[in-house]
């Protein structure tokens, strides 16, 4: 088999990422959180936010944009609400710490809401929401990011892709998991279409004048979710913006330095926001579980169009996860080349 198309096990990918991060000087907490978040995405098939980001995170850690040894601290709190300062940590460090606190608060008060200051790119938002669902709670996660998405009828970059995620436990089944950008497509889709010479779908991207284009090479900004009704996607992006940045006092999307810019020294000061909800605060557990089971079972068995089928949010991800846990994952050539470079730089053996 061509070495560039070999599959590697998830367990060895996990080992490689942790060892590389510790090799560059990141503390145990940073190595653990960063790897957990990337592996959640890779395991579930969200490769744009998976282990392909390892080289970028190492570059930001080595450059000083990200703090290798952050001290995440509570800076304020009142009842079920807290604010944490992530000390310019890699984004997953602050987000996991925030969700851990939100879960603790929800178990005490029925709900916990935690704002996270001085954070950075945290990858797939579902990585943090799912932590609540694994403990029987409902989890929500929000983050903003540097501008790349125009407003409805707008002609300039305004919001980031501003993800929204929600995870809900389902008794005897995988959690219901929504993890979505509020743009029509992620920018990584545009890059993929550029590399393959494929035209974009209608209504997902715009040129420098804000006019829709299907040419990935002319794309200068993404469109908000909703096409002709893009004001809905822009409004959802605003929800993520307000939770993540306004409530935490952090930079708005249009004030955040580019993630892929040249400056790897200056912290980006992103905000994030997580919520955990204890279902028993509203209804007894048996009623909640029966409602969720009936909901997802009826959804999956509802009539579908010819040659199609319907899925609950998360179904595709759990199917991919099962396959990859059994068979491993194939690294794309760019990621494999980056891994080879990291392996040599830090003396860590390649994932097998």
Q: Give the DSSP letter string of 156-205.
A: SEEE----EEEEEEETTEEEEEEEE-SBSS-HHHHHHHHHHTPPPPTTSE
Q: What is the pLDDT of residue 251?
A: 97
Tell me the angle at which helices 54-63 and 10-23 cross, rounded to the nearest 10 degrees. Answer: 10
Per-residue pLDDT of the chain (352 residues; tens, 9 = 90+): 455 567 999 999 999 999 999 999 999 999 999 999 999 999 999 988 999 999 999 999 999 999 999 999 999 999 999 999 999 999 999 999 999 999 999 999 999 999 999 999 999 999 999 999 999 999 999 999 999 999 999 999 999 999 999 999 999 999 999 999 999 987 777 876 887 788 999 989 999 988 999 999 999 999 999 988 999 999 999 999 999 999 999 999 999 998 888 899 999 999 999 999 999 999 999 999 999 999 999 999 999 999 999 999 999 999 999 999 999 999 988 899 999 999 999 999 999 8
Tell me the pTM. 0.94
Q: What is the pLDDT of residue 1?
A: 42
Task: Name the residue among 300, 350, 351, 308 with its Cα closest to residue 328.
Answer: 351
CA distance 103 to 109: 10
Q: What is the pLDDT of residue 315?
A: 97
Tell me the angle at which helices 315-327 and 28-43 cross, rounded to the nearest 10 degrees. Answer: 110
Q: What is the pLDDT of residue 108?
A: 98
The token pair at 172 is 């005897």
CATH fold group of domain 3-183+224-284+316-346: Ribosomal Protein S8; Chain: A, domain 1 (3.30.1370)
Residue with tokens 């938002």: 125
CA distance 348 to 274: 34
Inter-residue contact 300 to 19 (CB < 8 Å)? no
Inter-residue contact 166 to 174 (CB < 8 Å)? no
Q: How far is CA 50 from the centre of its chain?
A: 9
Q: What is the pLDDT of residue 3?
A: 52
Q: How far is CA 271 from the centre of its chain?
A: 13
């Amino acid at each position: 088999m061509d070495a560039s198309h070999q599959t590697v096990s998830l367990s060895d990918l996990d080992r490689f990422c942790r060892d590389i991060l510790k090799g560059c000087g990141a503390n145990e907490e940073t190595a653990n959180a960063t790897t957990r978040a990337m592996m959640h995405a890779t395991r579930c098939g969200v490769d744009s936010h998976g282990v392909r980001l390892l080289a970028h995170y190492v570059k930001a850690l080595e450059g000083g944009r990200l703090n290798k040894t952050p001290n995440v601290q509570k800076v304020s709190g009142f009842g079920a609400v807290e604010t944490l300062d992530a000390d310019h940590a890699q984004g997953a460090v602050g987000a996991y710490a925030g969700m851990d606190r939100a879960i603790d608060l929800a178990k005490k008060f029925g709900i916990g809401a935690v704002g996270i200051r001085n954070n950075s790119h945290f990858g797939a938002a579902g990585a943090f929401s799912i932590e609540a669902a694994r403990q029987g709670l409902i989890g929500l996660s929000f983050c903003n990011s540097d501008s790349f998405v125009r407003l409805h009828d707008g002609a300039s970059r305004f919001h980031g892709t501003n993800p929204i995620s929600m995870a809900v436990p389902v008794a005897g089944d995988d959690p219901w998991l929504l993890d979505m950008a509020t743009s029509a497509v992620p920018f990584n889709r545009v890059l993929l279409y550029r590399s393959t010479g494929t035209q974009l779908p209608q209504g997902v991207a715009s040129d420098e004048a804000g006019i829709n284009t299907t040419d990935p090479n002319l794309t200068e900004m993404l469109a908000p979710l909703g096409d002709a009704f893009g004001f809905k996607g822009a409004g959802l992006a605003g929800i993520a913006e307000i939770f993540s940045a306004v409530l935490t006092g952090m930079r708005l999307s249009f004030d955040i330095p580019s993630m892929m810019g040249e400056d790897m020294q200056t912290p980006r000061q992103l905000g994030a926001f997580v919520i955990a909800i204890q279902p028993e605060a509203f209804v007894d557990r048996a009623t909640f579980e029966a409602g969720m089971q009936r909901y997802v079972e009826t959804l999956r068995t509802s009539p579908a169009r010819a040659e199609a089928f319907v899925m609950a949010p998360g179904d595709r991800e759990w199917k991919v996860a099962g396959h990859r846990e059994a068979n491993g994952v194939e690294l794309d050539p760019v990621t494999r080349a980056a891994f080879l470079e990291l392996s040599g730089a830090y003396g860590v053996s390649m994932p097998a």
